[in-house]
Amino acid sequence: MAITAYESSPGFADADILVIVYVLGIILARAGSKGLPGKCVRPLLGRPMMAYTFDHAQASQRLSAIVVSTDSEPAKDLAKSAGLEVIDRPAELADDQATVDSAARHAVTAWEAIHHQRIDAVALLYANIPLRGDKLIDRAIQRLVDTGADSVRSVVAVSKQHPDWLHKLDGDRLTQFRSNSIYRRQDLEPLYYHDGAAVIVTRESLFAALGDPDNHQAFWGSDRRAIIQQAQDAVDVDDANDLILAESLLRSQQNSLNPSTHAIDMAHHTISPNEKAFVIAEIGVNHDGQLGQAIMLIDEAVQAGADAVKFQVFKAATLVTPDASTAIYQQDSLGVQSQHDMLAKLELTREDFRHLKAYCDRKEIVFLATPFSEDDLTFLIEMNVPAIKLASTDFTNRPLLEAAIQVNIPLILSTGACIAEEIDETIAHLKTRGVLDRSIIMHCVSCYPTPMHAINLRGIRTLQQKYDCLVGLSDHTTSLDTGALARAVGAVVIEKHMTFDCDATGPDHATSLNPDDFGQYITRLREAELALGLGQLGMSEIEADVRSMARKSIVASRSIPAGHVLSRADLVLKRPGTGIAPQFLEKLIGCKARIDIAPDTLLAGEMLE
């Protein structure tokens, strides 16, 4: 039974109709791929490729349910983490000989058996297509309903690869593929290719194809319609070149919406607005010059869930002059006037740092450190650190910055106590040197501790928007919520001091969190990330039960005999929402009842003609 357009009023009462009320979105993600192995779960701008198709499906207003059909264990895990139902695809439907329609029928049959709900149509969504035109899925479903077709596919106009401009080769001799004398592109016959971004097929056509097993296109039915996209609206990723093109188009698309969607890979972590924030436990000098204490703080950072620990590498003799004084907050907490004397007690040896780096590697937590001289920087590079973090005090230290730029690894720079012109000048230099795309600018207030009224978290967004860069927060507050709040305004890296005792003697203990509080700090940050979500609009899977229970369907208000032509008085809207949706009410007026319909019966397409 084909879907007949409701708009075709002439003779409508005599036509067969099927009201589409249940469309199952099937995300197809096969593990095997000869051109690009594991492509569906490969990173693309910091996210698994298939996550973009998840976004498209979950943003749809017309999909009634979504499943992921896959034989890939990583794909299954990703689907479940996105709240999507998984249909295990058997091996015989997962090799490169299996047809798409076979996998789709398997998914439909499995889903209907689980949910006891018959679907009306399917939307086939390939997980290796990370771009789709705006609201493409919903527009394609609407085209199916409006036209009464068997299928609707997204297509793109053929351009320079038009058959009239193609040639065959006999050796090196060119022969026209199709004889013609067309010179101008605008004179070419309009032809289109299927870009794979959306395939909407009625259930009837999908299963009718079983009667023609040798025709692998039979499932599209006899009435096949198209919805036109632009070439840049979709990329079917099959090889490395496609991946590069998709990344370029996605970056351009995202940058038009959000100026800070760059991504940096660092020690098996991707730093991006689309990923979890990278959390650095700043041990700094809170080890009090004791290697054993530094090791125990690493253990606590691992236990708390930090991604990295960070130390400070310096020699007091080369960092400060003998008569340099301490800051007021240091004098108040330490009673020490000499900065040199204070720092000398907090030094660790080069051998200590090598030991700490090896220990971090064993504990699978990233080792970072801040150098305070070019000699310190050289030492860190020799230890093969994955990034260089420069302190706020060196944000304008051009020789040290230039030396760090020479190393082809990510840069993390803090802006504490910088005036606006200094931030402008340093970031302009990073742009000129072509390294801003591998830099993370840390919003920072150099006050220890920083009161909440002074933290100015909106500065994170200002940095993002003004400089089009990745931005983090170096947090010197004592609040357990600051990291979560910073993430909400776009911070991709959170750095926070950690200590065993906030009341201990030392320059940074008072602005730090103890291990229990640091664990809470990260927990609240991760909860905030869960609450932020992906930003898409539309129904989520967890709303499906309430949707079907609380929405209304078109119901018979009284007994309706077979042959009766429906009027408005015959119809009422009642719960549940598992029948024909209320928006089709006017379309049903004038239809003829095919069978006797009892009062309070949810109407269905097969009851009417």
Return the higher-pLDDT residue of 561 and 243: 561
pLDDT value of position 255: 55
User: How far is Cα 394 from Cα 231, in angstroms, rounded to an integer?
Assistant: 47
**72-126 confidence digits (pLDDT tens):** 899 999 999 888 999 999 989 888 788 999 999 999 999 999 998 899 999 999 9
Mean pLDDT calculated for residue range 337-348: 86
Return the higher-pLDDT residue of 548 and 127: 127
**Percent of residues in the chain assigned helix, strand, coil, to nearest 5:** 40, 20, 40
Looking up tokens 């020490």 gives 336
Q: Residue 455: CB partners within 8 Å, gap ≥ 6?
A: 445, 475, 477, 482
Mean pLDDT calculated for residue range 234-249: 85
User: How far is Cα 376 from Cα 449, in angstroms, rounded to an integer?
Assistant: 27
pLDDT value of position 3: 34
Mean pLDDT calculated for residue range 177-202: 87
User: How far is Cα 143 from Cα 224, in angstroms, rounded to an integer?
Assistant: 11
pLDDT value of position 4: 33
Return the higher-pLDDT residue of 160 and 347: 347
CATH of domain 551-607: 3.90.1210.10
**420-438 confidence digits (pLDDT tens):** 999 999 999 999 999 999 9
* pLDDT over 50 at 8, yes or no: no
Looking up tokens 């993430």 gives 487
User: How far is Cα 293 from Cα 290, in angstroms, rounded to an integer?
Assistant: 5
Mean pLDDT calculated for residue range 151-164: 87
Residues composing the chain: 609
How many percent of the chain have pLDDT more than 90?
63
Cis status of the peptide bond prior to 449, with omega within 30 of 0:
yes
pLDDT value of position 261: 55
pLDDT tier at 540, thresholds 50, 70, 90: confident
Q: Residue 55: CB partners within 8 Å, gap ≥ 6?
A: 534, 536
CA distances from 420 to 413, 415, 450, 497, 588 (A): 15, 10, 19, 25, 65
Could you tell me if 34 and 96 are in contact, meaning their C-beta atoms sit under 8 angstroms apart? yes
Superfamily of domain 21-155+192-257: Spore Coat Polysaccharide Biosynthesis Protein SpsA; Chain A (3.90.550.10)
**476-493 confidence digits (pLDDT tens):** 999 999 999 999 999 999
pLDDT tier at 242, thresholds 50, 70, 90: confident
**507-521 confidence digits (pLDDT tens):** 999 999 999 999 999
Cis status of the peptide bond prior to 576, with omega within 30 of 0:
yes
* pLDDT over 90 at 6, yes or no: no
pLDDT tier at 609, thresholds 50, 70, 90: confident
Mean pLDDT calculated for residue range 34-60: 86
Q: What's the count of helices (H) and strands (E) in the chain, helices before strands?
A: 19, 23
Burial class (CB in 10 A: 0-12, 13-18, 19+), 325: middle
pLDDT tier at 257, thresholds 50, 70, 90: very low
- The tokens describing 592, both together, are 């003829």
pLDDT value of position 552: 94
Strand 308-313: give its sheet, edge to edge. Answer: 366-371, 308-313, 278-284, 493-497, 470-475, 439-444, 411-414, 388-390
* pLDDT over 60 at 35, yes or no: yes
Long-range (24+ apart) CB contacts under 8 A made by 259-262 are 259/464, 259/465, 259/468, 260/464, 260/465, 260/468, 260/469, 260/470, 260/471, 260/490, 261/45, 262/437, 262/468, 262/469, 262/470
Arithmetic mean of pLDDT over the chain: 89
pLDDT tier at 12, thresholds 50, 70, 90: very low
- The tokens describing 292, both together, are 């054993």
pLDDT tier at 332, thresholds 50, 70, 90: low
User: How far is Cα 308 from Cα 366, in angstroms, rounded to an integer?
Assistant: 4
pLDDT tier at 180, thresholds 50, 70, 90: confident
pLDDT value of position 7: 33
pLDDT value of position 262: 77
- How many C-beta atoms surround the C-beta of residue 179 within 10 A? 7
pLDDT value of position 288: 94
pLDDT tier at 567, thresholds 50, 70, 90: very high
Domain definitions of the chain by residue range: 21-155+192-257, 271-531, 551-607
How many percent of the chain have pLDDT more than 70?
93
For β-strands 388-390 and 411-414, DSSP reports them as parallel
pLDDT tier at 330, thresholds 50, 70, 90: low
- Ramachandran angles phi, psi of 155, nearest 5°: -135, 165
User: How far is Cα 606 from Cα 609, in angstroms, rounded to an integer?
Assistant: 8
pLDDT value of position 18: 43
pLDDT value of position 488: 95
Q: What is the pTM (predicted TM-score) of this model?
A: 0.60
* pLDDT over 80 at 259, yes or no: no
pLDDT value of position 10: 28
**569-604 confidence digits (pLDDT tens):** 999 999 999 889 898 899 899 999 999 999 999 998
* pLDDT over 50 at 19, yes or no: no
Superfamily of domain 271-531: Aldolase class I (3.20.20.70)
User: How far is Cα 217 from Cα 200, in angstroms, rounded to an integer?
Assistant: 13
Mean pLDDT calculated for residue range 401-425: 96
First-last CA distance in the chain: 11
* pLDDT over 70 at 15, yes or no: no
